Amino acid sequence: MTDNSCESEPVIAPSLTDKSQDTSLPPCLDKDSGKDDDMQEQVFDRRMRALLNRLTPGNFDEVSDELVAWGNKSAKETDGRILRHLIALVYQQAIDEPVWSNMQARLCHKLIYNIDIQVEDHSLLTEDGNYFCGEQLVRKYLLTKCQEDFERGWKAEVPPDMKSDEYYEAMKVKRRALGLVQLISELFFLDIIKPPMLHEYVKHLLSNIEPPENEDIESLAKLILIAGKKMDTPECKDTMDTYFAHIQAMSVNKNIPSRIRFMLKDCINKRKDGWVVLEDMLTTTHVICPFWSQSWN
């Protein structure tokens, strides 16, 4: 686990669009009140969004405990509906607002190790024929979402008119794509995503370099800049050497925008310097969140 620390100033919490701050557990989810499913979904969606809007580094323990309690309400279900919806909201916030992705990754870590074993999804079976439940169910929901969105990719042509709606939408797509890479890297730091899975992501990004796909190359550079130090182990030296041979070639490819080439050269220099500069970058870019210096267990 990378051990980095940083100072934190008071910050404004990220926002999921909802104004409700009433986060108490509703009666319709505590017992059978005759409410239909749509009404229940509206209730737990509103309450969980309100909690996520309140979540900050300063109140993380308190608010995350309430969110875990919401996830555990799925013990009364057979489809994991509430837990699945909670994971979807956390995921949405992490990729929409990447600056908060390390805090959302920590929340995912807490859910994994605190969700009740009685929470099951009867539509998902393990290789042994048992229902996915507890920790493995949280991982299943989260990593499936990451995998599906990563493989689908988010590409959009950016129009020249910066005032157009199309430009705004294209930049939103690009921001979410880079937000996903940021989240994947944060989950890797916490051992939620394992090295083999991360290497598959890198290989996928490297599969589109002839002709170069700018979005994939920028995502690759972002991932390497964040996760490269932890990836670059003695056991993976040959694999990393192969990655960097491609990165070196792309860094001088004039068909790639200069901004992305500079990112690739930054990856090369950071590895050459033993990733020492990466420590400084993490301290700088994560100044709003002090979780790097804390134990994740």
Asked whether the CA dihedral 14, 20, 21, 27 is positive or negative, the reply is negative
Quote the CA–CA distance of 287 and 95 in Å, as a whole number.
19
Q: For residue 161, what pLDDT is reported?
A: 67
Domain that holds residue 168: 11-193
Phi first, then psi: give them for residue 26, nearest 5 degrees: -75, 145
Residues 166 and 21 in one domain: yes
**pLDDT > 90 in the chain, percent:** 54
User: Please, what is the angle between helix 258-272 and helix 276-285, to 10°?
Assistant: 120
| Boundary of a domain, candidates 173, 193, 213 | 193
Q: Is 12 exposed, middle or buried (0-12, 13-18, 19+ CB in 10 A)?
A: exposed
pTM for the model: 0.74
In a domain, 118, yes or no: yes
Q: For residue 139, what pLDDT is reported?
A: 96
Q: For residue 31, what pLDDT is reported?
A: 44
Pairwise pLDDT comparison (271 vs 173), residue with the higher score: 271
Q: For residue 16, what pLDDT is reported?
A: 53
Tally Cβ neighbours within 10 Å of residue 198. 18
How confident is the model over 100-126, as pLDDT tens digits?
888 999 999 999 999 999 999 999 999
Q: Identify the band that residue 87 occupies on the pLDDT scale cut at 50, 70 and 90.
A: very high
Quote the CA–CA distance of 187 and 58 in Å, as a whole number.
21
Residues 34 and 138 in one domain: yes
Q: For residue 291, what pLDDT is reported?
A: 32
The CATH number for 58's domain is 1.25.40.180
Mean of pLDDT values over 84-111: 93
Q: For residue 118, what pLDDT is reported?
A: 96
Q: Helix, strand, or coil here: 122?
A: strand
Q: For residue 264, what pLDDT is reported?
A: 95
Question: How many domains does one find in the chain?
Answer: 2
**Which secondary structure element, helix H or strand E, spans residue 10, and what is its range?**
none
How confident is the model over 158-195, as pLDDT tens digits?
666 666 777 666 667 777 888 899 899 999 989 999 99
Pairwise pLDDT comparison (29 vs 136), residue with the higher score: 136
Mean of pLDDT values over 211-216: 77
Strand partners, 212: 209
